[in-house]
Amino acid sequence: MAACRALAPLLVAGLTAGAQEPAPPPASPAPTSLTLRQAIELALFHNRTLAKAGLDREVQRYDLKVAQDEFVPDLTLTSAVRHNPVTTPATELTTRTGSASAVVSQRLPTGARVALAWDNTAIDRSAATNKVYDSSVFLQLDQPLLRGGGFTANLANLRIARLAEQSNVLEFKRGVINTVTSVVLAYRALLQAQRSVEVTETSLTRAREQLRVNRALVSSGIIPPVEIIQTEADIATREFNVLTAQSARDAARFTLVRLLDTARDADFVATDTIDTPQFALDLETCRRLAFDHRPDYRQALQGKAISDLSTDSARNNKLWSLNLSSRYRLAGTAPRYNESLDRTWQRSNEDWNVGLALSVPFGDLTRQQTYLRARSRAQKAALDVAEITDNIEIEVRDALRSIELSLKRAQVAAVARELAERKLEIERGRLQAGRTTNFAIITFQNDLVSARLNEIGAQISYLNALTLLEQTLGTTLSAWGIRIEDLDQPGAPARALPPPPPSP
């Protein structure tokens, strides 16, 4: 206890010292005005999901380059030296060998492989024999006639790579569309939350003004004092509604900041107005746009084409192996390299051959297994196309229905808000004359707040329905003027860019 009493003054002194120098609160950033187009531009430049997708495009483009290189000639240079001493009881024989060769080979779309080679060898022995130089040139052709032969089987990999590249481009566009759609919806959620704050704050201001009026009416004896309590209770309720609306606004702002991937403490204020444009597209036009622009539909078609090509390759792989091979060779040997090279082109040592090789596998079930799997994938791909076709039909019809219903709700909500305003004004006039109660005023004020919030919500729902229709049709990028930059440029990630600013 004595130790505690001794430490008590020190603890009090420490607490007092800490209280004298409080840590300064962190400075909150100034609010930043933000339009919807600016929010989309920020997302295109800063969103990490799009950035990672753009980096993937760099690798995917190189995959296509590798597939295109399949029919490009290859040059191979090789060289070797060897020192080989051999010791016997009588003598020691040392052989030194050096070789250099250059081979140009190319694979043809028919499946043939052509090779042109130039071999040079030098042999030097420690025996009495002189050095020997050998130079030879040969041209070789190998052409599969059954398995691995023909344009269909040999161009399948290149065609699959091109289709895969197109699908990768569509996947990148699909990611951009989804990101832009998410930003638009998040921005409008923030805009709706801000308007809700404004409506609740306005209702709170009017309730406080009504309290001042009621006090004057109580002083004049027009209404009883009990009406003051009802008004004060209404003010407390509206203050709670303001805090709730502010909390929802902050949550909507954080959601938008997370999508934009900007500074986490950014305080954005949505500044766009809420307009309800007219909609004039019919069902047939929407169907055509969806089948022309939907990335997932076009990906499904490309997936089916890839599966068909894979099935053809697997079917070809089941055939017997029958190969035609031929070779033409010129060679020359001499004690000097120049002489060996001259003898080569003088055709002093010339030979050629041609032949057929047949290979018939028995008991190998893996080829049939590969074919069955490829055929199954092709059948599933056809079902995927049929499924997404039906889904697009349903989604387009549902999107149009949602737009029509949302527009009607917005129109009805506007009429209800106008009537609620007129009803409240009439009731306030009656209260001035003492012909109604404060409870009726509070009820009508609540009706007006609900009507305004319903109108804002219906307008935002209509705008969101239009945005979701753009996503359903795959026209989001064209609607916002977004372009994909240099998809074919090597060594750089793909980027989605907003339209350039209009020239003055």
List pLDDT tens digits, range 290-303: 999 999 999 999 99
Burial, 157: exposed, middle or buried (Cβ in 10 Å; 0-12, 13-18, 19+)? Answer: middle
Please give the structure tokens belonging to residue 32.
């930043």
The pLDDT assigned to 384 comes to 95
On the question of pLDDT at 7 being above 70, the answer is no
Q: What's the average model confidence in pLDDT over 309-333?
A: 91
Average pLDDT over the chain, rounded to an integer:
85
pTM over 0.85: no
Domains of the chain (ranges plus CATH)? 32-67+156-310+368-497 (1.20.1600.10), 77-107+112-147+322-360 (no CATH)
The pLDDT assigned to 56 comes to 87
On the question of pLDDT at 491 being above 60, the answer is no
Distances (CA, A) of 17 to 7, 9, 23: 15, 12, 12
Residue position matching structure tokens 């190319």: 106
Distances (CA, A) of 434 to 228, 406, 454: 15, 41, 31
On the question of pLDDT at 170 being above 70, the answer is yes
The pLDDT assigned to 6 comes to 42
Asked which of 24-28, 174-178, 316-320, 366-370 is least confident by mean pLDDT, the reply is: 24-28
Spatial contact of 187 and 398, defined as CB atoms under 8 Å apart: no
Please give the structure tokens belonging to residue 259.
């999508």
Q: What's the average model confidence in pLDDT over 235-248?
A: 91
Q: What's the average model confidence in pLDDT over 81-94?
A: 76
List pLDDT tens digits, range 415-440: 999 998 898 888 777 766 667 666 77
Which amino acid makes up residue 290?
Answer: A
Read off φ and ψ for residue 431, nearest 5 degrees: -65, -35
Three-class DSSP category at 302: helix
Please give the structure tokens belonging to residue 58.
């760099």
Residues 6+ apart with CB under 8 A from 100: 77, 78, 79, 119, 120
Q: How many CB atoms lie within 10 A of CB 492?
A: 13
CA 418/CA 412 separation, integer angstroms: 10
Q: Sheet harboring 321-334: ordered strands across? A: 74-87, 92-107, 113-125, 132-144, 321-334, 349-359
Spatial contact of 181 and 467, defined as CB atoms under 8 Å apart: yes
The pLDDT assigned to 17 comes to 40
Strand partners, 268: 32
pLDDT band, very low/low/confident/very high, at 194 (cuts 50, 70, 90): very high
pLDDT band, very low/low/confident/very high, at 363 (cuts 50, 70, 90): confident
